[in-house]
Structure 1
Amino acid sequence: MKECKEKGQLKLPKLISDGMVLQRNAEVKIWGYDVLNQSVTVHFADKVYSCITDSNGKWEITLDKLKTGGPYTMMVEGSNTVIVNDILVGDVWVCSGQSNMQLPVNRIKVIYEDEFNNAKNTCIRQFIVPEKYEFKKPVEDVASGEWKSVDPESVLDFSGVGYFFAKALYEKYKVPIGLIKTAIGGSAVESWLSEAALKEFPKYMKTAEAFKDDAYFNKVRKNDEESSHRWYKNVDKKDEGLANPEKPWFDPSCDVLDWDTINLPACFKDEKIGALNGSVWFRKDIDIPKSMLGKPAMILLGTITDSDFVYINGKLVGTTGYQYPPRRYNIPKNLLQDGRNTIVIRVISNNGNGEFTEDKPCEIAIENKKIDLKGSWKYHIGVSVKEPLPPVTFFPSVPLCLYNGILSPVISYTIKGVIWYQGESNCDRPKEYKSMFVRLIADWREKWKQGDFPFLYVQLPNFMKAKEEPGESAWAELRDVQLKTLNATNNTGMAVAIDAGEWNDLHPLNKKDIGERLALAARKVAYGEEALVYSGPIYKSMRTEGNKIIISFTNIGSGLIAKGNCELGHFAICGDDKRFVWAKAEIKDNEVAVWNEDIDKPIAVRYAWADNPEGANLYNKEGLPASPFRTD
């Protein structure tokens, strides 16, 4: 963005800048600030628009409906002149929610190497709204940010879901796609509600009011920082592995004859270590042949609860402060040596749940060769402390703060719609989620003043270990709320993700299926492809025939199938006692009959009703999974 006549005070918000994508076929607002009573003129697409700043120095104009195209240049004249270059006209989508929408391509690149190494598309662009917590009032502009188009370097910061969503839409319509990334990891639905909407939920409004007091906020933040610092400092101070600075336990020459043995990966509570608060040191010696030296190398350890420090041959190669990121640390050149190499991992468990996650990579990778690190390790407890890490305030879930700090600066920008991936942080409160989620959709539509724009969202995927018997599930309850939102709010679409998760990872890598399913929903809901089958089967109704319950569905597409050509799995049924047991199920005339020979008079059926419904395999022939549901 080029600025002329530098002595003036004309300013544009960060979103209105070089490389931006403007919404086609809509009334697009352009706004900014200048001195009071200043005449401002906007030149764009061979048209001229004029206005005068108001008593606050703010001005705005509305562009005539724009046709797809570009690149264009915009000139804004006021007390100085600003030139905005490389503008495209297409469709703009807000990508919001929590970490699974925020998760950048850089985190998922490991399973899409070829795709991202060659990624280049000047017609797909993203603007990242920086993280900001604001409790008092809505923020008018973001502190920083710029529009970037896709290339092998910039794509690493794109939302993984957003990128695959945009790519699918661009391939279908050849229309420029702009993404505004507003997602924040760990955020709860109440943090994205405006104050007007939050007042309908008094408990959360009370919390928001407390944080408007600077003294209270500063006290909370200070207390959290100090208590956390004291805990970690105490662990470091008492850790035997750090007690001798001349020979810490990460020194390869350190004597480990009296260390115990453990097979990794492992959960500490299931081992002799127990539910420890403190630190544990792990060591393994491996041999590396001379032929593998001098090449790019990386150590992969999956995810670790809670934090880790990884040393190779006495040198720190990587550290991570919390459990969720996958540990992938580059090994410096020439650090590995011919013959014996020593790996030491110091793990800090802060709440008794220390763990090396199962079924994750645990290896050293050198080009196309791998050295397996699973199996026997030596270990020794560095320190065990009585108290866990004190709980701290998780600000992304404080009510109101993200609406004010992140969403508010965006709502003047004309959009096509929203894609949303959130719910994990509300899984402990599924019953209240329905009213809050429905209210959020209405709230955003009210604030944007663009009518009932498309709001597309992801149903929570499968997660955690599968259970052997049917039972209750908070994750299933929240998925059910998400399913029912389709009928509670118009112009919405849901991407079922029950087959796209990972039992051992809150942040599954498969973002391609998610993005593409959201794009299918967009094609149906936002782009009007009425005949398109965008979703897997959705529960419609049930009826009883003898000892069987017959389930009907919408979105059956070309027909129902049991994926894998095997029996349908993860159906449960109950009688008057309301005790669910596993059931037989079969497809007949594009309905599903469900029964259990021991139940003569069934009253209800559940499908995929679990945190991780392993074996749920009802799909339509278009390859889209059925949504979990319950009839009770």
Structure 2
Amino acid sequence: MNLRPLVLLPFLALPLGAAQARVVLPRVLGHGMVLQREKPVPIWGSAAPGEAVTVQFRGQQQRTAAAADGQWRVTLPPMPANATGAELRITGTNVIRLKDVLVGEVWLCSGQSNMEYTMRKSSKATVPPQPEPNPQTELERAHNPQLRIFLVNRKELARPDSLHRGWSVAQDSALRVFSAPAYFFAQELQTKLGVPVGVISSAVPGSRIEPWIAEAAFQADSYYQPPVGGDPGKFYEPMIRPLVPFALRGFCWYQGESNCFLAETSSYTHKMQTLISSWRAAWQDAELPFYYVQLAPFKYSESKEPKQPLTPETLPLFWEAQEAVLATVPRTGLIVATDLVTKLDDIHPPYKWQIGRRLASLALHDTYNRREVAAAGPVFQSLRLRGSRAEISFRPLQGRLVSKDGQPLTGFTVAGADGRFVPAEARIKGKRVLVSAPAVARPTAVRFAWHEASQPNLFSSAGLPARPFRTDKPAAALSHAAR
């Protein structure tokens, strides 16, 4: 009698897939999913060692056998977009039939609470009346079978799901708890591209950037000596790694508040570089675009019991650290959100439909080569000093410089040789902005939106805000941005 548990122990120690000698799929492979068009599409899972596995989809068939560790993988050749649902069949000892699988565009959206911010919250946010169709009533209208969503649960993604039901049409209860920025990003892409779009949301409120980076990526970089804190890999392991190698077009990222509270600057720039390069390496695709959100205005300096001293310039310095990534990492893009705030004491500004649509505009312009889509507002290019006046030139943009509300430009300050910045008068002259102040006879530097509460009115005529800047960056910051 006492021997029976001892006999069972070796059997119980085997992986579930091997013990049952059945094909098992990762949770991200499920009914209703979207497969990435025009790229090789990996299909993978586990089975008994040596078990033969066949994958069939839309007239193509791939065969393999599970390796000694039970893992198997096949790769379907690139396919054109297809909005008609089809069955993807995986056959081993058992047969798995995934229904209603589409082919189109797939993106992964990640970050902290502002990316996690749900459609339900978005529908209840207090904002001024919106033009029709009101994005706040999108939950009532949403019913587009060409738009599919997958919400990552950090406690479940690494576990197989025998029901294969992780993907949903973007509607009803599934959409209520889904990321609003991710949904509006995907909706805009689907509308403009006219192909199925699948979007994955994997976000954790309050998370710093470090847990989203594999610990090995930190260990491989001498920059992080001594080792970085912040639980490296804590969310990467359960919420990103199990998605690899699901074929994607690219990434969207909305994170930084938790690191800004620590008054980070260049260290955050480096961490973003590490995150982007490590994610691209995980997918074995250095071309994957990475688009992200510059944080919105917020009174960080009024935080109670901060871990680091915070001032009204803490956020602008963080903006600068976010922007520095653009100069050092190819195929990246940033959107500005200085206008998307209702209350400066709310770390979760409500205009998530604008966040999603601006990210989509970046993707449409840069990834899908839709050059008619305006992707960025005014971005500082150069400073020219002319006696009592400073002239600011901006990179070429679609449209022209405008004051959004028709009032005198706001957010500009100017300093002379003493380095003391004072409020400045600024006006648009063609493609430039002329800046001056009566108290500064000979300006030497200009700053724009260089305050945590700044919500300036300089925009492009396409409706996009100007990016904050300062012309007096320290030499170290200038050389870092030039790399």
TM-score normalized with structure 1 length: 0.65
Larger strand proportion, structure 1 or 2?
Answer: 1
Q: Are 2:372 and 1:537 aligned?
A: no
Q: Which residue of 1 aligns with 2:128?
A: none
Q: Are 2:54 and 1:34 aligned?
A: no
CA RMSD after TM alignment:
2.1
Q: Which residue of 2 aligns with 1:559?
A: 400
Q: Are 2:461 and 1:621 aligned?
A: yes
**Taking structure 1 as reference, are residues 533 and 116 closer, same or farther at Cα in structure 2, changes over 3 Å only?**
same
Q: Which residue of 2 aligns with 1:474?
A: 314
Distance 1:402 1:606 in 2: 37
Contact 2:87 2:101 in 1 (8 A): yes
Distance 1:166 1:618 in 2: 28
Q: Which residue of 2 aligns with 1:172?
A: 192
SS in 1 for 2:48: coil
Distance 2:187 2:374 in 1: 19
Alignment of structure 1 residues 222-621 onto 2, 5 Å: 397-427=230-260, 428-464=263-299, 472-501=312-341, 502-614=343-455, 616-621=456-461
Contact 1:198 1:204 in 2 (8 A): no
Please report how far the alpha carbon of residue 495 of structure 1 lies from its aligned counterpart in structure 2 after TM superposition. Answer: 1.3
Alignment of structure 1 residues 72-221 onto 2, 5 Å: 72-111=86-125, 112-132=135-155, 146-199=166-219, 200=221, 201-202=223-224, 205=227, 207=229
SS in 2 for 1:101: helix
Q: Are 2:85 and 1:71 aligned?
A: yes
Q: Which residue of 2 aligns with 1:234?
A: none
Q: Are 2:29 and 1:16 aligned?
A: yes
Distance 1:164 1:472 in 2: 31
Contact 1:7 1:80 in 2 (8 A): no
Contact 2:301 2:312 in 1 (8 A): no
Contact 1:412 1:448 in 2 (8 A): yes
Q: Deviations 1:322-364 (Å, cap 9, x if unpaired)?
A: xxxxxxxxxxxxxxxxxxxxxxxxxxxxxxxxxxxxxxxxxxx
Mark the structure with the bigger radius of gyration.
Answer: 1
Distance 1:123 1:623 in 2: 28
SS in 2 for 1:532: coil
Distance 1:7 1:426 in 2: 45
Following TM superposition, where does structure 1 have runs of at least 4 consecutive aligned residues deviating by more than 6 angstroms? 142-145
Letter in 2 for 1:202: Y
Distance 2:109 2:191 in 1: 19
Contact 1:130 1:406 in 2 (8 A): yes
**Taking structure 1 as reference, are residues 583 and 465 closer, same or farther at Cα in structure 2, changes over 3 Å only?**
farther
Contact 1:166 1:519 in 2 (8 A): yes
Distance 1:193 1:142 in 2: 23
Contact 1:454 1:492 in 2 (8 A): yes
**Taking structure 1 as reference, are residues 491 and 465 closer, same or farther at Cα in structure 2, changes over 3 Å only?**
closer
The percent identity for this pair of structures is: 34
Please report how far the alpha carbon of residue 104 of structure 1 lies from its aligned counterpart in structure 2 after TM superposition. Answer: 0.8
**Taking structure 1 as reference, are residues 73 and 169 closer, same or farther at Cα in structure 2, changes over 3 Å only?**
same
SS in 2 for 1:490: coil
Contact 2:398 2:462 in 1 (8 A): yes
Q: Which residue of 1 aligns with 2:69?
A: 56
Please report how far the alpha carbon of residue 531 of structure 1 lies from its aligned counterpart in structure 2 after TM superposition. Answer: 4.2
Distance 2:53 2:160 in 1: 22
Letter in 2 for 1:176: P
Gapped runs of 5+ residues in structure 1?
1-5, 134-138, 208-396
SS in 1 for 2:172: coil
Please report how far the alpha carbon of residue 21 of structure 1 lies from its aligned counterpart in structure 2 after TM superposition. Answer: 0.8
Distance 2:240 2:173 in 1: 26
Contact 1:142 1:406 in 2 (8 A): no
Distance 1:147 1:598 in 2: 61
Q: Deviations 1:272-313 (Å, cap 9, x if unpaired)?
A: xxxxxxxxxxxxxxxxxxxxxxxxxxxxxxxxxxxxxxxxxx
TM-score normalized with structure 2 length: 0.85
